[in-house]
Homo-oligomer: A and B are copies of this chain.
Amino acid sequence: MDKSSKIVRDPIHGNIKLKDHIVKLLESPEVQRLANIKQLGFAHLVFPGAHHTRLEHSLGAYQIASQISKSLNLNEYQKDVVSCAALLHDIGHGPFSHTLESLLLEKFGVDHVDLTEELIQGDYGIFESGEKEFIQSQSVHKILSNNDIDREEIINIIRGKTSNMLYLGQILNSTIDVDQLDYLIRDAYYTGVAYGMIDIERLLQTLVIHEDTLTIKRKGVGVVENILMARGLMYSSVYFHKTARIAELMFSKAIELIPDLEPFEFFRMTDAEIVSSLKKMGVFQHEIVTRLKYRILFKQAYSASISDLDEQALDKIRDLENAAYRRQKEQELEETFNIPHGHLIIDIPRPELLVSEPRLHKTDIFVVDRDEVKTLDDFTPIAEAIRSRITPDWIVMIITDEKYRDAVSKKAETLLFG
């Protein structure tokens, strides 16, 4: 990021030009911290190129938002709030992106969007102890208020809850929002998977505002179908990759088993900092971060897909969705096989993920055809097909240390369902 020229080079979007106050936001500690948080958590253990961070992604979302703002002919106020919202939408993310999200929700009832909101309002800080005195750059909320940029509206856009100008919120929250557009292309680029190609230029040509709503013209149906398909394929080949999931489960377990857990501090940390902290919190935690460093992962001892199981087994799965019960079951199994605590994990992907990932449901873009507003389903059966495409491949999985795998593997089904 060469500040003088205010141009940043991005492998995806080429040269990204930044106006004055955007440069300031980019230099803020909240945004720079994102350069230390991997976009895809532990996916680099499967796709070795996937070390990209939330910072590049935020810049990319900013760039697409600017392009959309321009092609929709938004006014200066709208352009400002939309592009700031795109740049800032991820500042509340904890280390390793989504990895700790469910813990955050379970313990404190908040998610990364709530933290983003607090950071924008200046109600929460990201500094680790002792850092503040070395920081010369301004915080996000200061920059925004100094430049008279409407913080409430930015938060509304990030939450997709703009009251009168619906389209502003949809630029960041819809079937074709800039968040997804950037991450699909970017994650495909850094993993080397061939599926994320999206024709942004063509999409831009087909977007229109119709009755305050972001819609596409008839000729844009193909581009949107392509985005939906890219999304579906990236989920099955990258986002729900089993090996990356195993690493995440190991890491979450290490956090969960911290004695006297007070995890809120963790969320302001970077990837490197949480790893460094964990190391000192117990033997199990030290083991896990060492294993992740050297990629010595737990192995799958058992897994089943929805079509493998009968109704009775599916009932048991539903019980296991309860975290407390699942942890109790893990301990039972550990005792049965004489496995040290923390070394056996049962994974029940969140039920709302089972029919399809929540975002996959969002095919809520409307189509304007000869002045009539229609749904995407009026033009193509693809949207519906993507919605009902089942991911991930497993409904239950047990992982454990390699040396216990065979033993667990033989009895898993009986012990779980029998």
Interface residues of A (CB under 8 A from B): 1-2, 5, 7-12, 14-15, 27, 29, 32-33, 35-36, 38, 44-49, 51-53, 55-56, 59, 130-131, 134-137, 189-195, 197-199, 201-202, 205, 222, 225-226, 229, 232-233, 236-237, 243, 270-273, 275-276, 286-287, 290-291, 293-296, 380-382, 384-386, 388-389, 402
Task: State in angstroms the CA–CA spacing of A134 and B288 once bound together.
Answer: 9
A47 to chain B, nearest CB (A): 6
Can you list 8 A-B contacts (CB < 8 A)?
Answer: A11-B189, A27-B295, A35-B44, A48-B59, A131-B290, A194-B226, A229-B229, A270-B293
The 3 closest A-B pairs by CB, nearest first: A11-B192, A272-B272, A385-B385
CB distance from A61 to the nearest CB of B (A): 13
| Inter-chain contact A15/B48, CB cutoff 8 Å | no
Q: How far is the CA of A385 from the CA of B385 in the complex (A)?
A: 6
Q: Is the pair B229, A294 in contact by a Cβ cutoff of 8 Å? A: no
Shortest Cβ gap from A287 to chain B (Å): 5
Are B296 and A136 in contact, CB atoms less than 8 angstroms apart? yes
Assembled-state Cα–Cα distance A204/B76 (Å): 26
Q: Which residues of B contact A201 (CB under 8 A)?
A: 14-15
**Cα–Cα, bound, A32→B45 (Å):** 9
Given contacts A35-B44, A290-B134, A294-B32, are A9 and B222 in contact (CB under 8 A)?
no
Say yes or no: B222 contacts A137, CB within 8 Å: no
A199 pairs with B195, CB closer than 8 A: yes
Contact A294 B29 (CB under 8 A): yes
A56-B49, A296-B135 given as contacts; is B194 within 8 A of A198 (CB)? yes
Q: Which residue of B has the minimal Cβ distance to A56?
A: B48
- By a CB distance below 8 angstroms, the chain B residues around A131 are 290, 293-294
